[in-house]
């Protein structure tokens, strides 16, 4: 990479006098990938939102019908966008938190190119209809094997870096990153255990209900350990850095970390309420979801209270605005989640668009906004130059915020409406709307509102990408060939 | 939050300059956490040990309550089944709303069989057709419309189907409406048929279910 020289930052290691040089080139690579995949993943999301509002948009081409593009959208935004955001933040912050360069530059690059290759394979196979039909684990077995290999390489590099750290105390962000690296490896490998039949087809080793339970143990904890704990780690590093404030409570950070990782892993059965799953297992999933409320809010509290004394800057600084909204949506959706896991609420909400609204308040609100805040902070710190269009960051913030509100409110309304109409009875005790299709037709206005919200969110992301491009490559951008000492940072 | 000390822990040199306060946990947060834990244990005990609730019991309770509130509806019977122009008109509407996805707007069949040929899988007499619509054939994917539509709508749509079938096949409505056991060419009843005791003319020898052909 041509950026290696300019992307390298040196720091004097205390006591030794030997300069430690951080590998920021790899951070820039992941950064670029994250921004690119953000636009791609969200564009596919807007495309399928359009197909739900107006089906002829699929143009009769099988490869771009909803059923093929939906897994492409989820894989692209979760594993490509959010994944690369995590790697960007982890590679950047862990070197600084541990005062050491990454364990191996070669492993870093195998991780980067391996991960991008996996995403490209996903983008080819999913539209071709190759899937193992497990939500968020659709990719066929050869790609699953690649993911496992690349993840283990990342794990070796990650723990190798921790092993040769030059600090004693591990900052809380590192704990959150560790839970991400370990748990995703376990979840991915266990859920994808399968016996290959052909190159593109395999059969899971689990049958029937066991398969469903393993799948939702995986699916729920993919949300927990891919979209929650690493992003809490990022919050614990980038929010206090951006706000230049001390973290509110060390004790709270430790306690809510352990409570969160312990409780999260049991809550998966709430995806299978009112199924063939034994009642006791359903109860387990429900009560562990309820107990998850306080540990989740611990993260929100520590984020919001860290901003005490910096609220004047929150009004003006787009980075802090993104982070405040992110943390607020985290608190909102981690309240909504436990409520939806209650049996009687779930009976109404399950299979409705409310679930789609819930997952997007977490995904667009928490993951997306935290990512944007981090990326805006990083682009200026990595490339050492101010944003090309500072005002655009503010426009992006408002487009995204209003977009999320349109998205979630329309899906709440649609979900409640269809949930109530599915169960509504007439005076004779018969279904008030026996034809499912009638209710589907009534959802149409909400589908258009959701499309509008999603398109606004995408527009903001495109503005961010252009802003970053012009910040990094635009005219007048200074190129700094000499390493910048990190001590002055 | 008056217990805030805002005392720095002094770890910043090991956290890239990020300071941490050693503030205590907010009381209400600790209270919320304990409340959810106690509630979780209490709910589990109540659900499984005290109230002995279960998914199956909930269904039984709901069905029992429904049986009290809505006594069993008068079953759709053929005793009052006649075909009038009004019924056919209303039946066309019922058909368009409920039957088109499977049987097609042209009634030639989509995933369900054609309704305008001379082949009746579950009996081709009026009473049998009415019975099939009302009770469904779950094995073949035909829902029991008697549980979803009012009895008069079931009769309306049966009248409509019979009329259209008669128009297409030339079989007189009077022949279709004749009682199943007196119909000419009645075949033996399929053992698992829900369509009554007699097969229609078209069902003679049709013991192998020809579903999916249409």
Task: Classify residue A72 as exposed, middle or buried by CB count within 10 Å of its CB (0-12, 13-18, 19+).
Answer: buried
User: Which residue, chain included where needed, has tokens 């979801």?
Assistant: A289
Kind and range of the H or E run holding A486:
none
Give B64's pLDDT tier (boundaries 50, 70, 90). very high
In the predicted structure, residue B97 carries a pLDDT above the cut 90: no
> What tokens were used for A329?
């949506």
A302: nearest CA partner in chain B: B25
Question: A422 CB contacts (<8 Å, ≥6 apart)?
Answer: A352, A433, A436, A439
How many angstroms separate the CA atoms of A93 and A255, rounded? Answer: 22
Q: Is residue A60 part of a domain?
A: yes
B49: nearest CA partner in chain A: A280
Interface of B with A (CB under 8 A): 6, 8-9, 11, 13-26, 29, 32-33, 36-37, 39-41, 43-44, 47-48, 53-55, 66, 69-70, 73, 97-98, 101, 147-150
Are B25 and A255 inside 8 Å of each other by CB?
yes
Whole-Å CA distances, A280 to A189, A272, B45, B176:
26, 12, 11, 54
Which residue ranges does chain B devote to CATH 1.10.760.10? 85-203
> Which of B18, B25, B48 faces A280 most closely, judged by CB atoms?
B48
Q: Is residue A309 part of a domain?
A: yes
Return the number of other C-beta atoms located less than 10 Å from residue B142's C-beta: 21
pLDDT at B73: 62
Q: Is residue A350 part of a domain?
A: yes
In the predicted structure, residue B75 carries a pLDDT above the cut 90: no
Task: Classify residue B60 as exposed, middle or buried by CB count within 10 Å of its CB (0-12, 13-18, 19+).
Answer: exposed
Give B26's pLDDT tier (boundaries 50, 70, 90). very high
B6: nearest CA partner in chain A: A248
How many angstroms separate the CA atoms of B92 and B99, rounded? Answer: 10
Q: Is residue A75 part of a domain?
A: yes
In 3D space, the residue among A262, A288, A259 whose CA is nearest the CA of residue B30 turns out to be: A259
User: Which residue, chain included where needed, has tokens 């596919």?
Assistant: A44
How many angstroms separate the CA atoms of B176 and B168, rounded? Answer: 13
Are A294 and B36 inside 8 Å of each other by CB?
yes
pLDDT at B82: 79
In 3D space, the residue among A82, A85, A70, A87 whose CA is nearest the CA of residue A122 turns out to be: A70
Q: Is residue A221 part of a domain?
A: yes
* CATH architecture, domain defined by B85-203: Orthogonal Bundle (1.10)
In 3D space, the residue among A371, A374, A359 whose CA is nearest the CA of residue A404 turns out to be: A359
Question: A351 CB contacts (<8 Å, ≥6 apart)?
Answer: none
Instruction: Give me the sheet containing A484-485, strands edge to edge.
Output: A19-23, A8-12, A484-485
Q: Per-residue pLDDT for chain A (489 aa), expressed as one digit of tens each?
A: 333 344 445 554 455 555 679 999 999 999 999 999 999 999 999 999 999 999 999 999 999 999 999 999 999 999 999 999 999 999 999 999 999 999 999 999 999 999 999 999 999 999 999 999 999 999 999 999 999 999 999 999 999 999 999 999 999 999 999 999 999 999 999 999 999 999 999 999 999 999 999 999 999 999 999 999 999 999 999 999 999 999 999 999 999 999 999 999 999 999 999 999 999 999 999 999 999 999 999 999 999 999 988 999 999 999 999 999 999 999 999 999 999 999 999 999 999 999 999 999 999 999 999 999 999 999 999 999 999 999 999 999 999 999 999 999 999 999 999 999 999 998 878 788 888 889 999 999 999 999 999 999 999 999 999 999 999 986 555 555 444 444 433
pLDDT at B193: 38
Whole-Å CA distances, B7 to A245, B19, B25:
13, 10, 14
What's the gap in Å between the CA of B167 and the closest CA on chain A? Answer: 27
Q: Is residue A273 part of a domain?
A: yes
Q: Are B119 and B210 in contact (CB under 8 A)?
A: yes
In 3D space, the residue among A155, A270, A160, A280 whose CA is nearest the CA of residue A224 turns out to be: A270
Domain that holds residue A375: 16-470
DSSP assignment string, B77-145: -STT----HHHHHHHHHHHHHHTHHHH-TTSS-SSSPPSSSS--TT--SHHHHHHHHHH-BGGGTB--G
pLDDT at A475: 58
Main-chain dihedrals φ then ψ at residue A12, nearest 5 degrees = -80, 125
Beta pairing class for A202-204 and A194-196:
antiparallel
Could you read off the pLDDT of B152-199 as tens digits, one per residue? 889 999 999 999 999 999 999 988 888 887 544 444 444 343 433 333
A260: nearest CA partner in chain B: B33
Q: Are A54 and A33 in contact (CB under 8 A)?
A: no
Instruction: Please tell me the total count of domains within chain A.
Output: 1
Q: What is the CATH number of the domain that holds A342?
A: 1.20.210.10
Helix residue spans in A341-484 (DSSP H): 343-349, 353-360, 369-382, 390-423, 436-442, 444-473
Q: Are A231 and A222 in contact (CB under 8 A)?
A: no
The mean pLDDT value of chain B amounts to: 82
> What tokens were used for A360?
């997007």
Q: Are A372 and A322 in contact (CB under 8 A)?
A: yes
Taking CB atoms and an 8 Å cutoff, what residues of chain B touch A97? 14-16
The helix-helix angle for A353-360 and A390-423 (nearest 10°) equals 160
């Amino acid at each position: 990479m041509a950026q290696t020289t300019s992307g390298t930052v040196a720091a004097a290691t205390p006591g030794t006098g030997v300069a430690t040089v951080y590998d920021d080139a790899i951070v820039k690579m992941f950064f670029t990938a994250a921004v690119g995949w953000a636009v791609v993943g969200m564009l596919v999301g807007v495309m399928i939102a359009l197909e739900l509002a107006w089906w002829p948009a699929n143009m009769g081409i099988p490869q771009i019908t909803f059923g093929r593009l939906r897994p492409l959208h989820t894989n692209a935004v979760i594993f490509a966008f959010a994944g690369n955001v995590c790697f960007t933040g982890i590679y950047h912050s862990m070197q600084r938190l541990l005062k050491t360069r990454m364990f191996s530059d070669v492993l870093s690059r195998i991780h980067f190119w391996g991960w991008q290759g996996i995403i490209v394979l996903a983008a080819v196979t999913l539209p071709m209809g190759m899937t193992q039909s497990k939500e968020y684990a659709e990719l066929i077995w050869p790609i699953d094997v690649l993911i496992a290999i690349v993840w283990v390489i990342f794990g070796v590099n990650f723990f190798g870096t921790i092993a040769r750290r030059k600090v004693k105390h591990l900052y809380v962000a590192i704990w959150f990153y560790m839970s991400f690296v370990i748990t995703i490896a376990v979840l991915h490998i266990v859920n994808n255990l399968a016996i290959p039949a052909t190159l593109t087809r395999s059969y899971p080793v689990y049958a029937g209900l066991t398969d469903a339970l393993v799948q939702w143990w995986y699916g729920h904890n993919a949300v927990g350990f891919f979209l929650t704990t690493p992003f809490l780690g990022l919050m614990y590093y980038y929010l206090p850095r951006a706000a230049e404030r001390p973290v509110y409570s060390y004790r709270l950070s430790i306690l809510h970390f352990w409570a969160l990782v312990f409780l999260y892993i049991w809550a998966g059965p709430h995806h299978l309420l009112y199924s063939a799953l034994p009642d006791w297992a359903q109860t387990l999933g429900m009560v562990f979801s309820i107990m998850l409320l306080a540990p989740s809010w611990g993260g929100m509290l520590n984020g919001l209270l860290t901003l005490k004394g910096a609220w004047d800057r929150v009004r003006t600084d787009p980075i802090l605005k993104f982070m405040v909204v992110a943390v607020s949506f985290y608190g909102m959706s981690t309240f909504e989640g436990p409520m939806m896991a209650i049996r009687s609420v779930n009976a109404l909400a399950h299979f409705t668009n409310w679930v789609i609204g819930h997952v997007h308040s977490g995904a667009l609100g928490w993951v997306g906004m935290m990512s944007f805040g981090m990326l805006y902070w990083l682009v200026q710190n990595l490339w050492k130059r101010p944003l090309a269009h500072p005002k655009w960051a503010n426009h992006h913030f408002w487009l995204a915020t209003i977009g999320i509100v349109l998205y979630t409110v329309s899906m709440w309304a649609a979900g409640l409406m269809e949930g109530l109409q599915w169960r509504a009875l007439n005076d004779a005790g018969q279904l008030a709307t026996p034809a499912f299709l009638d209710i589907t037709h009534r959802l149409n206005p909400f589908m258009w509102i959701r499309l509008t919200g999603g398109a606004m969110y995408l527009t903001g992301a495109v503005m961010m990408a252009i802003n970053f491009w012009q910040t990094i490559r635009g005219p007048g951008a200074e190129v700094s060939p000499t390493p910048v000492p990190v001590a002055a940072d | 939050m008056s217990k805030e000390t805002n005392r720095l822990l002094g770890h910043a040199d090991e956290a890239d300059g990020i300071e941490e306060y050693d503030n205590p946990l907010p009381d209400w947060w600790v209270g919320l956490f304990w409340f959810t834990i106690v509630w979780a244990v209490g709910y589990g005990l109540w659900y499984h040990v005290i109230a002995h609730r279960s998914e199956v019991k909930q269904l039984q309770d709901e069905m029992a309550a429904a049986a009290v509130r809505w006594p069993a509806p008068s079953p759709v019977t053929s005793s009052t089944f006649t075909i009038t122009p009004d019924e056919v008109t209303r039946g066309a509407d019922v058909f368009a709303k409920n039957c088109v996805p499977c049987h097609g707007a042209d009634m030639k069949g989509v995933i369900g069989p054609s309704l305008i040929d001379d082949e009746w899988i579950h009996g081709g007499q009026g009473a049998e057709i009415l019975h099939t619509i009302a009770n469904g054939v779950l094995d073949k994917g035909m829902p029991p419309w008697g549980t979803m539509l009012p009895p008069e709508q079931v009769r309306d749509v049966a009248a409509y189907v019979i009329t259209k079938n008669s128009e297409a096949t030339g079989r007189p409505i009077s022949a279709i409406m004749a009682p199943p056991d007196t119909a000419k060419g009645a075949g033996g009843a399929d053992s698992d048929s829900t369509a009554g005791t007699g097969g229609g003319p078209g069902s003679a020898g049709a013991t192998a279910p020809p579903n999916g052909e249409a």
